[in-house]
Amino acid sequence: MSDSSEMREPAAAYGQSTKSAAPEPWSHPWHDQLGLLYHRAIAEKIRLQPDLLEIARENLRRWLAAEPETAPSQARREWQQIVNCENLGEIIRLMTDPSEDGHRRRQSTPFVGILTPEERRAIRDQFLGKL
């Protein structure tokens, strides 16, 4: 990372990238932006096929079952409440939230398996091309 002050910037500062203000590729802020792009694509797939939420629910069930009850993951419990919400619009809003909380939640995303490797690669390559 060329500028250590990048890590002190709020993650939301990276929500709308421009060529001159884009974070350094592969930096933590860059990964935050990429994660938001992935989640926007996942949200669009879920909007079209709400049954895809079952993938996230199953991931969480499996992950929580493997954790010791004495130390449950707060992030996984938070996602469990979110994906079990009845309001699809609220689920999508929270999964694509560009704030610090949104970036924190996406660090423990349960939406693994919704985008194909090809879809992830295309999003990443397009993002790299914009830098």
Write the pLDDT tens digit of every residue in 99-124.
999 999 999 999 999 999 999 999 99
95 phi, psi to nearest 5 deg: -75, -20
pLDDT of 17 over the 80 cut: no
Stretch 48-65: mean pLDDT, rounded?
Answer: 95
Query: What is the predicted pLDDT for the residue at 131?
Result: 56
Which residues lie closer than 8 Å to 72 by C-beta, 6 or more apart?
A: 64
Query: What is the predicted pLDDT for the residue at 27?
Result: 76
Q: How many CB atoms lie within 10 A of CB 31?
A: 16
pLDDT of 43 over the 70 cut: yes
Query: What is the predicted pLDDT for the residue at 21?
Result: 65
Question: Does this model's pTM top 0.95?
Answer: no
Amino acid at 28: H
Query: What is the predicted pLDDT for the residue at 7?
Result: 36
